[in-house]
């Protein structure tokens, strides 16, 4: 009985992760439309005025935030250490690209060191899997993931 309760909670947690991933994907789609609308307004409608640094910086910030959100969805679906490192890498890269003009070189150096540390972790501390295993994980669609969690098979629940 205790095992069935644990399995049920694990299934519910996975379904909540998938639901949150779907919500994040919807927000990403809305964000893409918002960026396209702003780019259309700045570059096509108001083409006589050049785009200033702040506008371009805002476009970059929004686009990189959407990239981080996509990586977050991938992280929620795959449950691999590499995906967490990818999210961190994009977040730090976004921070580095959007550093204000008034910031010091120390902040830039810390960001570069953080990215170097992530690459070090990926190369030396994360075990490498064979390519066939990675390709099989990437081929799983959300539909197959949902179907596997809805089954009452004990093998699918023992992921943790």
Q: What are the average pLDDT values for consecutive 10-residue runs of the chain, which has 160 residues?
A: 85 92 96 94 85 87 94 90 90 87 84 94 81 51 62 49
64 and 21 housed in the same domain: yes
Predicted pLDDT at 158:
47
Domain of residue 89 covers 80-128
12 and 59 housed in the same domain: yes
Token representation of residue 123? 């190369």
Predicted pLDDT at 70:
94
- Dist CA 27 CA 67 (whole Å): 12
Alpha-carbon dihedral sign for residues 98, 106, 72, 5: negative
13 and 86 housed in the same domain: no
79: left (phi over 0), alpha (psi -120 to 50) or beta: left
41 and 98 housed in the same domain: no
73 and 103 housed in the same domain: no
Provide the domain count of the chain: 2
Establish if 15 belongs to a structural domain: yes
4 and 68 housed in the same domain: yes
CB 11 within 8 A of CB 149: yes
Establish if 113 belongs to a structural domain: yes
3-state DSSP assignment of residue 52: coil
CB 92 within 8 A of CB 115: yes
15 and 53 housed in the same domain: yes
Establish if 136 belongs to a structural domain: no
Within 10 angstroms of residue 117's Cβ, the number of other Cβ atoms is: 13
Establish if 11 belongs to a structural domain: yes
147 and 72 housed in the same domain: yes
90 and 148 housed in the same domain: no
Token representation of residue 151? 């089954």
pTM for this predicted structure: 0.71
116 and 145 housed in the same domain: no
Establish if 134 belongs to a structural domain: no
- Dist CA 17 CA 23 (whole Å): 10
Predicted pLDDT at 106:
86
């Amino acid at each position: 009985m205790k095992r069935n309760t644990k399995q049920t909670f694990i299934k519910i947690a996975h379904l909540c992760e998938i639901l949150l991933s779907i919500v994040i994907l919807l927000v990403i789609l809305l964000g893409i439309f918002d960026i396209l609308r702003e780019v259309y307004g700045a570059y096509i409608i108001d083409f006589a005025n050049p785009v200033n640094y702040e506008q371009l910086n805002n476009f970059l910030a929004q686009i990189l935030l959407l990239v981080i959100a996509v990586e977050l969805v991938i992280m929620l679906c795959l449950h691999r250490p590499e995906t967490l490192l990818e999210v961190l890498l994009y977040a730090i890269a976004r921070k580095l690209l959007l550093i204000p003009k008034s910031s010091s070189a120390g902040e830039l150096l810390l960001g570069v060191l953080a990215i170097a540390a992530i690459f070090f972790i990926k190369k030396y501390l994360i075990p490498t899997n064979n390519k066939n295993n990675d390709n099989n994980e990437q081929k799983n669609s959300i539909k197959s993931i949902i179907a596997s969690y809805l089954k009452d098979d004990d093998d699918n629940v023992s992921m943790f």
